[in-house]
C-alpha cells in the first residue's frame, strides 16, 4: 500500500510538473514577452513577416516587434534569442545559419514558400534580340555563367570600362557572399566588377532602367518577387552537377521553439502558394501598397489559405479584427 501511495504521489508530482511545463510553454505571450521578428528588407520577406505578425497579434494576443538589420545580423540575433522569428530563411545558404543550427541554437520549421528559385540572369534580348524593339542580339552564344568570360565588353561597367559589371546582392545579404565566391570560382573576378547596390529596390531600379532602355545587364535575382513578372529574363546555367534547389523555412530561435509550442504549431503551417505570393508582390509594387497594409488585405481576401494554419478560435478572432 505504501508503495502504491508513493507511486501515486510520484505520478501526481510528475503530472503537476508536466502541467507546469505546458503552462510555462503556453505562456510566452501571456507573460507579456513580445515575439521579435527579423525586419527583412526584401518584398516576400516583408510580406511574410507582416502576415505572421498579424496572425500572432490578432489570433493569439501576442505582442510582436520587428527589428531591422541585414540577413547575417538577424541570423546572429536569432541564434542568441535576441529575436525569435526569421520569416523567410533560405536554409543552407548562410554559414551563420549553418553553424547556429549545428550548435542547436536555431531551428527551421515549415515551408512558408515552395518553388523559389535563384540565379544569374540577363534580359532575353541580350541573347536573342528583340525585333519589336529593333534590338540586335549582343551575346548570341551566351548560355552558361562560364560563357560570360568572353562577353565582359557587352556588360561594360561605366566606371571601369575595361571590365564588365555584375550586379550582386546588397552587402550584408547572404547571397552577396555566395555570388562573390562564384565570381572567383568561375574565374570572372578579374574581368567583372562585383557591384553591390545599396538596397534591394536599388537593384530593381538598375534592372528595370536597363531593361526599358534595351541595354545589357547581368545580375543576380530570385523568385518570389514582383520583378520576375515584369521582365523577360534568361537564367544562365551553372556548372554540371550544381544543385541550387531552394528550401525555405521559418527560422526560429531554439529558446522560442522550445518554450512556445502553441505558436510554433502555427508558424510551421504557414505557406503562401508561390503564384498567389507573386501576384501580391506585384500588387505591392504596382499599387504602391505598404507591406503591413497588404498583409491585412491578403488575410481578408484569402481566408481559405490561412484558416488552415490556426485554431478555430484564433481564426474567428483574426476574421473579426480584419
pLDDT tens digit sequence for 109-150:
999 999 999 999 999 999 999 999 999 999 999 999 999 999
> Model's pTM, two decimal places?
0.77
- Residue 263: closest CA among 91, 63, 78: 63
Q: What is the pLDDT of residue 41?
A: 86
Percentage of the chain modeled with pLDDT above 90: 78
Strand order in the sheet with 192-195: 192-195, 164-167, 218-223, 117-123, 233-235
| Nearest-angstrom CA–CA distance, 271 and 250 | 10
Confidence band of 246 (pLDDT split at 50, 70, 90): confident
Task: Report the b/e string of 141-154 with b at 16+ CB within 10 A.
Answer: ebeebeebeebbeb
Q: Are 256 and 62 in contact (CB under 8 A)?
A: no
The shares of helix, strand and coil residues in the chain, as percent rounded to the nearest 5, are 45, 15, 35
| pLDDT of residue 313 exceeding 80 | yes
Q: What is the pLDDT of residue 6?
A: 45
Average pLDDT of 170-190?
93
Question: 29-115+246-321 and 117-235: same fold?
Answer: yes
Confidence band of 4 (pLDDT split at 50, 70, 90): very low
Least confident of 179-183, 191-195, 274-278: 274-278
Domain spanning 117-235: which CATH class is it, in words?
Answer: alpha beta
Residue with cell 527579423: 38
- Residue 175: closest CA among 11, 63, 42, 16: 42
Average pLDDT of 101-112?
97
We find that the CATH architecture of domain 29-115+246-321 is: 3-Layer(aba) Sandwich (3.40)
- Residue 86: closest CA among 244, 248, 201, 223: 248
Q: Output the CA torsion 110→114→120→125 (10° steps).
A: -160
pLDDT top residue among 142 and 92: 142
**H or E stretch at 261:** helix 261-267
| pLDDT of residue 2 exceeding 50 | no
| pLDDT of residue 162 exceeding 90 | yes
Confidence band of 277 (pLDDT split at 50, 70, 90): very high
Q: What is the pLDDT of residue 230?
A: 83
| pLDDT of residue 18 exceeding 80 | no
Q: Are 34 and 298 in contact (CB under 8 A)?
A: no
Helix axes 274-286, 43-60, angle to 10 degrees: 100
Least confident of 56-60, 157-161, 233-237, 244-248: 244-248
| Nearest-angstrom CA–CA distance, 322 and 320 | 5
- Domains of the chain: which residue ranges? 29-115+246-321, 117-235
Q: What is the pLDDT of residue 227?
A: 87
Q: What is the pLDDT of residue 23?
A: 37
Q: What is the pLDDT of residue 196?
A: 96
Whole-number mean pLDDT of the chain? 90
| Nearest-angstrom CA–CA distance, 210 and 131 | 17
Confidence band of 285 (pLDDT split at 50, 70, 90): confident
| pLDDT of residue 21 exceeding 50 | no
Amino acid at each position: 500500500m505504501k508503495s502504491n501511495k508513493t507511486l501515486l504521489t510520484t505520478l501526481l508530482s510528475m503530472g503537476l510538473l508536466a502541467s507546469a511545463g505546458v503552462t510555462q510553454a503556453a505562456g510566452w505571450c501571456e507573460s507579456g514577452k513580445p515575439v521579435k521578428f527579423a525586419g527583412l528588407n526584401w518584398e516576400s520577406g516583408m510580406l511574410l513577416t507582416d502576415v505572421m505578425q498579424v496572425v500572432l497579434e490578432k489570433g493569439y494576443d501576442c505582442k510582436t516587434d520587428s527589428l531591422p538589420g541585414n540577413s547575417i545580423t538577424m541570423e546572429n540575433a536569432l541564434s542568441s534569442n535576441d529575436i525569435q522569428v526569421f520569416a523567410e530563411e533560405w536554409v543552407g545558404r548562410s554559414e551563420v545559419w549553418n553553424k547556429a543550427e549545428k550548435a542547436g541554437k536555431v531551428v527551421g520549421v515549415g515551408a512558408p514558400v515552395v518553388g523559389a528559385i535563384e540565379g544569374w540572369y540577363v534580359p532575353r534580348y541580350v541573347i536573342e534580340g528583340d525585333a519589336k524593339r529593333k534590338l540586335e542580339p549582343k551575346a548570341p552564344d551566351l548560355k552558361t555563367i562560364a560563357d560570360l568570360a568572353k562577353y565582359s565588353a557587352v556588360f561594360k561597367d561605366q566606371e571601369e570600362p575595361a571590365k564588365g559589371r555584375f550586379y550582386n546582392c546588397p552587402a550584408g545579404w547572404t547571397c552577396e557572399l555566395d555570388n562573390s565566391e562564384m565570381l572567383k570560382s568561375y574565374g570572372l573576378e578579374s574581368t567583372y566588377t562585383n557591384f553591390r547596390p545599396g538596397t534591394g529596390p536599388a537593384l530593381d531600379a538598375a534592372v528595370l532602367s536597363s531593361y526599358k532602355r534595351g541595354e545589357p545587364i547581368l545580375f543576380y535575382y530570385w523568385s518570389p518577387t514582383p520583378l520576375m513578372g515584369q521582365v523577360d529574363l534568361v537564367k544562365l546555367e551553372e556548372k554540371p552537377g550544381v544543385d541550387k534547389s531552394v528550401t525555405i523555412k521559418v527560422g526560429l530561435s531554439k529558446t522560442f521553439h522550445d518554450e512556445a509550442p502553441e505558436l510554433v504549431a502555427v508558424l510551421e503551417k504557414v505557406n503562401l502558394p508561390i503564384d498567389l505570393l507573386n501576384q501580391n508582390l506585384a500588387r505591392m509594387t504596382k499599387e504602391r501598397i505598404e507591406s503591413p497594409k497588404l498583409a491585412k488585405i491578403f488575410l481578408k481576401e484569402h481566408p481559405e489559405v490561412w484558416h488552415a494554419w490556426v485554431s478555430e478560435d484564433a481564426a474567428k478572432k483574426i476574421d473579426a479584427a480584419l
